[in-house]
Copies of this chain bind each other. A is one copy, B any other.
Amino acid sequence: MSQIKAYSASASKARVLPTEIERRPVGTNDVQIAIEHCGVCHTDIHFVNNDWGMTHYPVVPGHEIVGRVTEVGSAVSNFQVGDRAAIGCLVDSCGLCSNCEKGLEQYCLNGFTATYNSETQDPGGFTYGGYYQSIVAKESFVLKVPDSLNGPGIAPLLCAGITTYSPLKNWKIGPESKVGVIGLGGLGHMGVKFSHALGAHTTMITSSEQKGEDARLLGADEVLLSSSVDALVQEAGSFDFLLNTIPVNHDLTPYLELLKTNGTMCVVGAVEPLSQVNAAQLIFGRRSLSGSLIGGIAETQEMLNFCGEKNILSEVEVIRMDEINDAYTRMQKNQVKYRFVLDLGSLN
């Protein structure tokens, strides 16, 4: 194991500080990537602050990773030194369970290996993420970046992108669909872009008139102000699918009422107990309340290819590594349009 200087979080301050962590050598099936950009996800803040009580310090966050291949193992066939490459939220899974067999590594029944703060499949190892100069990962979990995509807006596709693309595909959203995207942040802005690109009639559902106007620029056909009871009543029973990106608990009632018969609201933001659900809203309309987690490796590659074809990137603000703490503060105040991306060159 070599020692690499990187930015990670200390338990005492729950903030990003320089420290020394271990890094694995490049194995037979591994790809080493010099990281150029890494997106900053809300999950990173939760891990840095140990909000979920599962952080193993020192933690190196970051699972929206894009860079260039600098070394490949002897059995690697799909990547060469100099290729662009990307890593998302997963770097391994058991590969044997029924979900892994279906390409649903994100639901690996034996527990996937997350890109950071995770034990490796081989006992004794531990993962560190993309707030870093480089990363080593198994080839089968490394993604190709389409030639037509460039710049820091690629990185957030690896988490915010696939988290919104996967449910839209799973629920077969297309030109016949009327989709509502609830909330306009890192996830929501990608949801609007994908829903629009898939040909669906796309409505931004937000409490903020300004965010509504911003969403139109991203591809929303309409804006529904969730603060207006009249507007909600008028749109009741009209949506096939709602992508709910609100990151905290909230009242689901007004949103469930927007669904058509057989409609689904998929929660991707709030990973926590939700307010009471009125079963009558589900029963009288055969509606569903669902959830979805990122995406599998094949689907993530499909999403990147789709972005390449449709020229879809995340809207980002690039920051230096030493600006990360301020960025976290601004994210918690919802003051970013729509994702911070670390320029890892700033570590040199």
Interface of A toward B, CB cutoff 8 Å:
99, 104, 107, 109, 170, 237, 261, 264, 267-268, 270-293
Nearest-Cβ distance from residue A294 to partner chain B, whole angstroms = 10
List chain B residues, Cβ under 8 A from A292: 283, 286
A selection of 18 A-B contacts at a CB cut-off of 8 Å is A99-B261, A107-B261, A107-B284, A109-B261, A267-B279, A267-B282, A267-B283, A270-B279, A271-B283, A272-B279, A273-B279, A276-B276, A277-B277, A277-B289, A284-B293, A285-B293, A288-B288, A289-B289
List chain B residues, Cβ under 8 A from A283: 267-268, 271, 291-293
List chain B residues, Cβ under 8 A from A285: 107, 291, 293
Nearest-Cβ distance from residue A43 to partner chain B, whole angstroms = 12
Docked complex Cα distance between A275 and B282 (Å): 14
Residue of B nearest to A267 (CB): B279
Nearest-Cβ distance from residue A195 to partner chain B, whole angstroms = 18
List chain B residues, Cβ under 8 A from A293: 283-286
Q: Which of B99, B104, B267, B288 touches A290 (beta carbons < 8 Å)?
A: B288
List chain B residues, Cβ under 8 A from A170: 286
| Beta-carbon contact of B271 and A274 below 8 Å | no
Docked complex Cα distance between A283 and B243 (Å): 12
Taking the full assembly, how many copies of this chain does it contain? 2
Q: A107-B261, A109-B237 are in contact. Are A286 and B291 (CB under 8 A)?
A: yes
Nearest-Cβ distance from residue A178 to partner chain B, whole angstroms = 13
List chain B residues, Cβ under 8 A from A291: 279-287
| Beta-carbon contact of B274 and A276 below 8 Å | yes
Docked complex Cα distance between A270 and B276 (Å): 13
| Beta-carbon contact of A104 and B261 below 8 Å | yes
Nearest-Cβ distance from residue A119 to partner chain B, whole angstroms = 17
Nearest-Cβ distance from residue A296 to partner chain B, whole angstroms = 11
Residue of B nearest to A268 (CB): B283
Q: A107-B261, A237-B109 are in contact. Are A289 and B278 (CB under 8 A)?
A: no
Nearest-Cβ distance from residue A65 to partner chain B, whole angstroms = 22
- Find the residue from A170, A261, A274 having the highest chain B CB count within 10 A: A261
Residue of B nearest to A294 (CB): B283
Nearest-Cβ distance from residue A109 to partner chain B, whole angstroms = 7
Docked complex Cα distance between A170 and B290 (Å): 17
Nearest-Cβ distance from residue A287 to partner chain B, whole angstroms = 7
Docked complex Cα distance between A104 and B285 (Å): 10
Residue of B nearest to A104 (CB): B261
Docked complex Cα distance between A285 and B271 (Å): 12
List chain B residues, Cβ under 8 A from A261: 99, 104, 107, 109
Q: Which of B237, B271, B290 touches A287 (beta carbons < 8 Å)?
A: B290
Docked complex Cα distance between A274 and B268 (Å): 21
List chain B residues, Cβ under 8 A from A282: 267, 289-291
| Beta-carbon contact of A274 and B274 below 8 Å | no
List chain B residues, Cβ under 8 A from A289: 277, 282, 288-290
Q: A99-B261, A109-B237, A261-B99 are in contact. Are A279 and B288 (CB under 8 A)?
A: no
Residue of B nearest to A108 (CB): B261
| Beta-carbon contact of B288 and A264 below 8 Å | yes
- Find the residue from A273, A274, A281, A290 having the highest chain B CB count within 10 A: A290
